[in-house]
Amino acid sequence: MSSGAVYLVGGGPGDPGLLTLKGKRLLEEADVVVYDYLIDEQLLVHAHHAELIPARDLHGNRAEQQRINELLIEHAHKGKKVVRLKGGDPYLFGRGGEEGEALQAAGIRFQVVPGVTSALAAPAYAGIPVTHREHSSSVTILTGSMQRQKDQQAIDWPALARGADTLVLLMAMTNLEEVVERLIENGLSGDTPAAAIRWGSRPDQQVATASLRDLPRQVREQGLRAPAVVVVGEVVALREQLDWFEQLPLFGVGVLVTRAREQSAEFSDRLRETGARVYQAPVINIRSPEDWTGVDAAIDQLAVYDWLVFTSANGVRLFCDRVWAKGGDARAFGHARLCAIGPETARSLHAFGLRADLVPTEYVAEAVAAALQPYAPKKVLIPRARIARDVLPVKLRQAGNEVDVVEVYRTEIPESAGTRLRTLLDNGEIDVVTFTSSSTVTNFVQLAGHPPAGVKVACIGPITAQTAEAHGLTVDITAQEYTTAGLGDALCAHFSALPASARAGV
């Protein structure tokens, strides 16, 4: 057999958080990822080093499937680790069996990593349990595609109509009227509750519910299109009680995250957990300083400082990385005490085995300077960005403290940021733009000007809000706690107070 291998990985129904741990690990290790067009782009972030190849098998025709099979075999024969990333589960109407047969015939080692299927996840996110002790003890999953006479003959409609308590149909939207007609004419009551769920488990999820008889009309009126999952059975009536996903505070709200990519993951994940449609468009890149001389000199004489003050998580990461690169570790900080401007910066210290001795109650430079004075610091080191507010060193020096400032990172505007911003803003995808620093505000305005009318502006704290206002922006939301968690809470509070129809600009 070839030294390469192929992994048929189920990518889940749409919510990137539903990817399995094994699937994530394989993506991180992959040399090549061949992915379906419905895969959420967030899943591809895990494929750090892989060649990404889209498999545009929109209709699953035999010629296209053959091309995909050949592609997998070709890369595996080169000794590469290939992930075939498929929507839902590879073996549930995903043609994973066909790909497995082709790989086996070619002598290629392969594994199957099951995924969360939309047949179960879409109903769950729509508040519909496919089984329920009082309503349904069986569920049947079938394809609603009937493009060929063979497909129509393969389905035992009388058995379906009288057998299963819950029916889940995938790929049924094109033939929805015919599916409904066949179920009713074979004995299933036209009054049976039914639902069509488009983009199930995603923040742009749409659900149409009606009696089975009226479902096609309801789908047309609401403008639902494929891809969608159709559910038929008494359990659909439970949606009114169990609809949890669409009740999340930011459900359907398009949030633009402008933070540097290295820092945006946790914030973005938190927003997704509250139902938001998250779009990452970093307007700032974090780069190492062009010259480490000043930093290295400070590290070599860390023993002379009685306080180190960190004003950002980036400052912690870059400074500590440099200490470690020079052969040091947490012991290099000696007797120096550590101050962090806020809890996120304190957590960054903790990741390096360091604990902040002081975190001011207000996370701004002015509060840091005031909080330090009772300790009467003699010599203070501030590792920070090249361009930053000078409030902290100025106030400390005015208080008689000796202060050294070293540049541990610089910021720049990503080359493609302007194009991505304009695309998102022009397409009407965004309901609110978030700013987590004055730099993100300045860079955003330089790249895109002002947000379009109706798009709200949210800032992490008063300093960032002041910068936004100085650039002529109207600030709609300012976090009371100056952290990304506080900004997320402020967004939830703001949009929860709005009518559901106004949350996503509709």
Query: Is the CB of residue 284 less than 8 Å from the CB of residue 413?
Result: yes
- Topology match between the domains 120-243 and 254-284+414-503: no
C-alpha 158/C-alpha 182 separation (Å) is 9
Query: Is the CB of residue 432 less than 8 Å from the CB of residue 252?
Result: no
**Given 3.40.50.20, 3.90.1150.10, 3.30.950.10, 1.20.1270.10, which CATH number is that of 120-243?**
3.30.950.10
Residue burial 245-279, b: 16+ Cβ < 10 Å; e: rest: bbebbbbbbbbbbbbbbebbeebbebbbebbbbbb
How high is the pLDDT of residue 149? 43
Helix runs in 247-300, H state only: 261-273, 293-300
C-alpha 125/C-alpha 119 separation (Å) is 11
How high is the pLDDT of residue 94? 87
Domain spans, the chain: 5-116, 120-243, 254-284+414-503, 287-412
If DSSP codes are grouped into helix, strand and coil, which group holds residue 492?
A: helix
Q: Count CA atoms within 13 Å of residue 237 on its CB side.
A: 11
What residues contact residue 198 under an 8 Å CB cut-off, 6+ apart? 205, 206, 207, 224, 225, 226, 227, 228
C-alpha 159/C-alpha 433 separation (Å) is 52
How high is the pLDDT of residue 88? 95
CATH 3.40.1010.10 fits 5-116, yes or no: yes
3: its two tokens: 């030294």
Residue 17 CA, distance from chain mean position: 8
User: Under CATH, to which class is 287-412 assigned?
Assistant: alpha beta
* Cα–Cα nearest to 255, from 237, 236, 234, 273: 273
CA 236 vs CA 51, 166, 219, 230, 500: distances in Å: 42, 9, 15, 10, 22
Give the CATH number of domain 254-284+414-503.
3.40.50.10090
Mean pLDDT of successive 10-residue stretches along the chain, which has 506 residues: 85 94 97 91 91 72 81 95 96 93 96 97 97 94 67 74 90 92 93 97 95 97 94 97 96 93 86 94 88 93 93 92 93 92 90 93 82 89 82 86 90 86 91 93 92 95 93 95 92 87 54
